[in-house]
Amino acid sequence: MAKVYFYYSTMNAGKSTSLLQSNHNYTERGLKTILFTPKVDAEMNEGQIHSRIGLKKTANIFNETFSFTDFFQSYSKNAIACILIDEAQFLTALQVKEICKVCDKKNIPVMCYGIRTDFRGELFPGSAHLLALADNLIELKTICEHENCTRKATMICRFDKDGNVIKKGNQIDIGGDQYRVYCRKHFRELTGII
């Protein structure tokens, strides 16, 4: 029976690289996959899922009104080997329910890759629903960027152009250069949020 998987982490842990490797493994064996990336990220990356190590692949684009139910309506059971979704934190609650339904009814595994929490330490809506509904939760790990720290990074800090920590603002602000990842201890020391 097919399952929904949620691969989550902070930034710089290799989520997109892992997704693209999984896609390669399927397609190398002649199996059909369908890839998705959110509009907010696709606009910066020409509609492609991209990794920091240079791998990339064109994907279908979803926004907050996109219907996974409608998209997969015409596909028969087992016609697709796997659905892969990058930046899954940008899924809506309804879209998470839709991909679960597609997985269950069409027997298609769905592999979602995304960030768990934002720069304030709060869950993204898509991540919250994936944590609640996915069959398998897999944490991808990276290390804290604080000097000489080797703890697992679990938090993300946002910085302004002068290097000052930002504690308030819109949850979504695309652009990796102003973000850094830290363990909870150093996140607390830098932000005072927790």
- DSSP letter at 153 equals P
Nearest to 64 by CA among 191, 171, 149, 185: 171
What pairing do the DSSP bridges indicate for beta strands 4-9 and 165-166? unpaired
Task: Please identify every residue annotated as catalytic.
Answer: 87
- What is the Cα–Cα distance from 192 to 194, expressed in whole angstroms? 6
Amino acid, single-letter form, for residue 134: A
Nearest to 113 by CA among 46, 37, 58, 56: 37
Residue 130 contacts by C-beta under 8 Å, 6 or more apart in sequence? 4, 6, 8, 88, 91, 96, 112, 114
